[in-house]
Amino acid sequence: MKNKELNAEHIWKQFEDLLAPQLGFSLVDRAVYSQLLRHSRLEGKARLRFSILWLARNIKLTGGPVRAAVRRLAEQGVLRLVARSKAGHVVEVRLPEEIRAVKLDRVEGREGSKAEGARGNAEVNIEEADFMQDSRLRKAIHAREGGQCFYCMRRIASNTQCLDHVVPQAQRGKNSYRNLVSSCMECNSNKGEKGAEDFLRRLYRERRLTALELSGRLRALDDLASGKLRPSLPN
């Protein structure tokens, strides 16, 4: 990985407009990636050695969610894990343009706005649409849940909403409306790579869901998979 002069503004735009939405970053994923990027590539370092404790302290979180986020980023190819030991992790932090899963097909600035507008005017095939690619489609998933977390059913502010893959991407879960739900940051972090049904039962055991609510959430999972929970598409 060659060191080169980086355009921080360009990297940030790619991070916000492409990387985070396409890979479904949670708020924890965003914080972890930003922190690792800041201390590695933006400082001209090809590799970074760090401990989970150091990283968690820097972004004001506990070790569990941070460790899970590092694991997710590695599975998605955002980080290349070079070594792991009791002394910590050694990783190579990839730029958005270096990540194979990220499609760099959006032109920035005015041309990008026109392109997105043109896509929005075209008829959307809901069964084939990638709901992580377009901000309006992502908002449609949040709107479908009515401002509630799909899992714990708590009300969540718009600035803390996350999109969660019911079947994790690491298990080849798709960016379909049948596999994406709106969730709170806590559920998004705690669920990690767990199956949605197992996670819902965990919430019940922790008394965060009643038996009736658990039954309703499990039915909602079935409805989601069968395509009954279709979001309203933007005009």
pTM above 0.85, yes or no: no
Instruction: Report which of residues 110 and 223 the model is more confident about.
Output: 223
Same domain? 197 vs 139 = yes
Is the confidence at residue 37, as pLDDT, over 50?
A: yes
Is the confidence at residue 180, as pLDDT, over 90?
A: yes
| Domain contains 187 | yes
Instruction: Report which of residues 1 and 159 the model is more confident about.
Output: 159
Our count of domains for the chain comes to: 2
- Quick one: pLDDT band at residue 88, thresholds 50, 70, 90? confident
| Domain contains 220 | yes
Q: Produce one character per residue of 35-51: b if its CB has 16 or more CB atoms within 10 Å, e if not.
A: bbbebbbeeeeeebbbe
- Residues sharing a CB contact under 8 Å with residue 174, sequence separation 6 or more, in sequence order: 167
Which pLDDT score is estimated for 235? 67
| CATH code assigned at 69 | 1.10.10.10
Q: Are strands 79-85 and 88-93 parallel, antiparallel or unpaired?
A: antiparallel
What phi, psi does 47 have (nearest 5°)? -130, 155
Query: 49: domain range?
Result: 8-98
CA dihedral 222, 224, 225, 230 (to 10 degrees): 140
Q: What is the DSSP code string of 46-104?
A: S-EEE-HHHHHHHTT--HHHHHHHHHHHHHTTSEEEEEEETTEEEEEEPPGGG-TTS--
Which pLDDT score is estimated for 109? 43
Is the confidence at residue 166, as pLDDT, over 70?
A: yes
| Domain contains 20 | yes
Which pLDDT score is estimated for 85? 82
Same domain? 31 vs 85 = yes
Q: What is the pLDDT of residues 41-72, one digit of tens each?
A: 999 998 999 999 999 999 988 888 898 889 88
User: What is the average per-residue pLDDT within 206-215?
Assistant: 95
Same domain? 92 vs 138 = no
Q: Which of 21-25, 34-38, 148-152 shows the lowest mean pLDDT across its residues?
A: 21-25
Q: What is the pLDDT of residues 96-153, one digit of tens each?
A: 988 877 766 543 443 444 444 444 445 678 888 888 877 888 889 999 999 999 999 9
CA dihedral 217, 150, 164, 59 (to 10 degrees): -130
Q: What is the mean pLDDT of the chain?
A: 85
- Residues sharing a CB contact under 8 Å with residue 158, sequence separation 6 or more, in sequence order: 142, 147
Same domain? 34 vs 86 = yes
| Domain contains 232 | no
DSSP alpha helices (H): ranges in 80-209? Answer: 109-121, 135-144, 185-191, 196-205
| CATH code assigned at 192 | 1.10.30.50
188 neighbors 160 (Cβ within 8 angstroms): no
Q: What is the DSSP code string of 213-234?
A: HHHHHHHHHHHHHHT-SPPPPP
Same domain? 167 vs 77 = no
| Domain contains 39 | yes
Where a domain ends, among 58, 78, 98?
Answer: 98
Residue matched to tokens 């970053």: 25
